[in-house]
Amino acid sequence: MAEQLTHTIPAGHGYALFVEEGQLLRVIDIEGGNACDFNAFVTPDYRERFSAGRTRPMTRIHPKVGDNLWSNPPYERPLFRIVEDTVGHNDILLARCSRLRYDEVGMFGHRNCQDNLSEAIAPYGLRPDDVHDAFNIFSATSIDDEGRIRIEHPEQKPGGFVELECLVSCLVALSACPANEKYGGINTPIGVEVRLASRRR
Ligand SMILES: [Zn+2]
């Protein structure tokens, strides 16, 4: 596993990489306005993984600096900690976009986070149904008076980033979300760059 790695995820595609305990993973919104769906699988057997459902009550629905990203029961421990965030909004309410949801609005065959993450984890023996509800980095949401999730459209400057400290070594999968205005998402199909460093806070 590399101590340092720089990679640009092509717009609307996915990527997977190993991140070791003590390393920092920086996810960068290169052009501004995008979101990045994050999945994590604890090595080596991958059965323990990030859990949006467990993270919500342990932190908040819009995780911020200092919050941990928790794993699923029966493991239930912090896998990553948010140590820096220059954008200021993340989400663990939304479900990842998927082929069927695009089909519904007539955008047949549109790229989507479910398939992006599936493609990224396939070389590691993981299947499409191993993709789980994501930590939606840079996504901005709110809840309206009827209790429905609303997707917000805040301005995001190019180069904003979120940095995560790895607390438990994981295979991480990331998707540069291909959502667009027609679909109703906040995102455009742009690139996301991932940086991996060994410095520890
Ligand atoms: Zn998406």
CA 84 to each of CA 59, 92, 160, 161: distance values in angstroms, whole numbers, following the listed order:
16, 17, 10, 8
End-to-end Cα separation, the chain, in angstroms: 20
Mean pLDDT of 7-14: 88
Interval between CA 57 and ligand 1 midpoint (Å): 23
Interval between CA 96 and ligand 1 midpoint (Å): 5
Interval between CA 47 and ligand 1 midpoint (Å): 23
pLDDT band at 189 (very low <50, low <70, confident <90, very high): very low
**C-beta separation of 11 from 177 below 8 A:** no
Interval between CA 121 and ligand 1 midpoint (Å): 16
Interval between CA 200 and ligand 1 midpoint (Å): 31
Interval between CA 186 and ligand 1 midpoint (Å): 10
Kindly tell me if the per-residue pLDDT of 201 is higher than 50. Answer: no
What percent of the chain shows pLDDT beyond 90? 66
Least confident of 41-45, 52-56, 172-176, 191-195: 191-195
Q: Kind and range of the H or E element at 104? A: helix 99-104
Interval between CA 91 and ligand 1 midpoint (Å): 12
**pLDDT at residue 197, as a whole number:** 58
DSSP 119-160: HHHGGGT--GGG----EEET--EEE-TTS-EEE------TTE
Helix and strand totals (H; E) in the chain = 3, 12
